[in-house]
Chains A and B, each alone.
Chain A
Amino acid sequence: MRERVHQALDVLGAPAQPRLLVAVSQAFFQGGLRSTQLTSLRRDEERSFRSSPYGRPYYLCAALTDRLSPARGLLTLSSWPLERRVVGPISPRADFLTCAIAVATRVSRTAAPSPESLRLLARMGRNIPGGELVELGRSVDPGRVAELAHEELAVHAERDERERAALAARARERLDEAARLFGAAPLGTTTIRGITA
């Protein structure tokens, strides 16, 4: 199962929710992932890492929020740079667009894309400005979806990269190795006052 999650995350190249991972796994691989299996995954990975650090070639780990705690329901790969694994306010949208581009590229490279992959692409494409006319069940043009996603991503990219770099720097400075992968415990009231003030 770890393998399948790894495959799906590797295709997407951005933090993703279990629901999307399941859809990607169905679209491009044999599927067989269920989102209920993914709920305890992160905790198991963390336990394994803490008992023997770097005993595995990769770990499925958390995305870090702006307070460096694990973000709810997002999975990432330990092999990614920290900048990709932290999420600022803009990041969920930027990551969605990155994922859409990844899915579109993968579909365009496949000779006979599966119906699931086309449906996933249509569902993502519909939620990108300019893609409103994409109808479910009709043929979708992966090139067009990727193009639209690139257009919107260009609007957000600069601010997102800046915020992520700042967060990643803070994570490097404050967290130990395990916490960098799996997130720090939620902070106490006093620290939060310091951050939000």
Chain B
Amino acid sequence: MSSTSRRVDALRGTSPQKPHDARAIAALAANPGCSRRALMDGAGVDKDAAARHLGFPAPFGQSPFAITRGNVFESLVKADGCAELLRMLRELLGLPVAEVGYHDVGNVGAHLRHAHTRALFDRAARGENDAGTLYDHPLLALDIAGHTAYLEPDVVAFQLGGRFHIVEIKSFAIVDGQADPASVAAAARQAAVYVLALRTLLEELGHDPLSVAHEVVLVCPENFANRPVATLVDIRRQLAVLRRQLSRMTAVDRLMEALPEGLSFDLEPGDDGLPARPAAELADALRTVEARYAPDCLSTCDLCFFCRDEARQEGASDLLGRNVRDELGGVAGVGEALALADGDRAPAAGQEEIARLLRTAELLRQDCLA
């Protein structure tokens, strides 16, 4: 065990490591600038438990109705030997009619699924003629900061010009060719995790990792019916962000260097099953690591309410969203921005430009209110 992973383990303390799933890994890519998140995820700290202990539980996780809806839609797409999916792949990617081989990796026991996935993809990549076209329930692995996370893409399709395509089945609707951009972005980030995991797998097996297409097939219900429709989504950008974020996680040691010795996010339970440690002490420990709060954290991170509260107390401009924060570069917080706007405070060196803009904005506002 390297010294880094020892230190990371010390950070987590005695609590068991929380395994990552694709959603959690994808969420990492949503806010690459946040050291707090990178560190806690790198150490595998249970952020949900931490947030609850701090008194900022996030109303998080999917609703059971959404999960049921998602499962029903997925089984509809996969019903009868993936009949619907085959139709869509034939229309979308021109899959030849003869290509219908279907392998359900889930038919082997749970403990063998990953090994079986490897064997099947190895055979497919070597181009043996009994290679299948659709692989259902595959299990991929990705190394996250020294620990293995297991990931389950919905379906992997092969044989479209010798390339693998990740198929992601989502139950949000595409109405008139338009879907909720936030849902699509989340699906793309999640698919990027699978693409990366599959590329890693092929590389380990000595095949060309680029045979995994950077376009993923997104399957959603169309309009207001339950009829599935497929679209191609380019995930190159998400893939780049994800790579960078994962390399940051493996570079957790650099983040660790800045931290005081003996810092710990330990959540060891006491006799009553709740973390024994005083919440204030844990909060202080967390505050030593810088967070970068943004309103989108509310949909991706368990600690969101804690960080939002912290940002409010500091009057940080992060609260207003990334665009505003970037516009207000060089201004420390909301209070300072307001003071610059109504002229209570003289701009410091370098702040002249933003101060002028803020004053103009204030004048416009006064005009509107008058």
Residues of chain A touching chain B, judged by Cβ–Cβ distance below 8 Å, are 16-17, 19-20, 65, 67, 69, 71-72, 89-93, 95-96, 99, 124, 126-129, 132, 136, 152, 155-156, 186-187, 189, 192, 196
CA distance A124 to B102 in the complex (A): 18
Min CB gap A166→B, angstroms: 11
CA distance A196 to B124 in the complex (A): 12
CA distance A96 to B217 in the complex (A): 23
- Chain A residue numbers with a CB within 8 Å of B132 are 89
Report yes or no: A17 in contact with B79, Cβ–Cβ below 8 A.
Answer: yes
Q: Which of A16, A72, A127 contacts B107 (CB 8 A)?
A: A72
- Chain B residue numbers with a CB within 8 Å of A127 are 80, 83-84, 86-87
Stretch at the interface among B28-36, B61-69, B93-101: B93-101
Q: Which of A65, A90, A128 contacts B104 (CB 8 A)?
A: A65
Q: Which 3 A-B pairs have the closest CB atoms?
A: A92-B81, A93-B100, A89-B101
CB-nearest residue of chain A relative to B103? A89
- Chain B residue numbers with a CB within 8 Å of A128 are 87
Once A192-B116, A196-B116 are accepted as A-B contacts, the answer to whether A93 and B102 lie under 8 Å apart by CB is yes
Report yes or no: A129 in contact with B102, Cβ–Cβ below 8 A.
Answer: no
Q: Which of B100, B112, B130 contacts A192 (CB 8 A)?
A: B112
A-B contact pairs, 30 of them (CB 8 A): A19-B79, A65-B104, A65-B107, A69-B107, A69-B108, A71-B104, A71-B107, A89-B132, A91-B102, A92-B80, A92-B81, A92-B100, A93-B83, A93-B86, A95-B80, A96-B80, A96-B81, A128-B87, A155-B97, A155-B98, A156-B98, A186-B108, A186-B109, A186-B112, A187-B108, A189-B112, A192-B108, A192-B112, A192-B119, A196-B120
Min CB gap B100→A, angstroms: 4
Q: Which of B81, B97, B115, B123 contacts A129 (CB 8 A)?
A: B97
Report yes or no: B107 in contact with A17, Cβ–Cβ below 8 A.
Answer: no
Give how many A-B residue pairs fall within 8 Å (CB-CB).
79
Once A89-B103, A90-B100, A156-B98 are accepted as A-B contacts, the answer to whether A95 and B81 lie under 8 Å apart by CB is yes
B82 within 8 A of A: yes
Interface residues of B in 128-158 (CB under 8 A from A): 130, 132
CA distance A24 to B91 in the complex (A): 27
- Chain A residue numbers with a CB within 8 Å of B84 are 127
- Chain A residue numbers with a CB within 8 Å of B83 are 93, 96, 124, 127
CA distance A139 to B103 in the complex (A): 35
B57 within 8 A of A: no
Report yes or no: A156 in contact with B100, Cβ–Cβ below 8 A.
Answer: yes
Report yes or no: B102 in contact with A89, Cβ–Cβ below 8 A.
Answer: yes
Min CB gap A170→B, angstroms: 15
B254 within 8 A of A: no
- Chain A residue numbers with a CB within 8 Å of B109 are 186
B356 within 8 A of A: no
Report yes or no: A93 in contact with B87, Cβ–Cβ below 8 A.
Answer: no
Report yes or no: B81 in contact with A72, Cβ–Cβ below 8 A.
Answer: no
CA distance A187 to B91 in the complex (A): 38
CB-nearest residue of chain A relative to B101? A89
CA distance A136 to B224 in the complex (A): 14
- Chain B residue numbers with a CB within 8 Å of A189 are 112, 115
Report yes or no: B79 in contact with A92, Cβ–Cβ below 8 A.
Answer: no
Min CB gap B92→A, angstroms: 12
- Chain B residue numbers with a CB within 8 Å of A90 are 100-102
CA distance A196 to B132 in the complex (A): 14
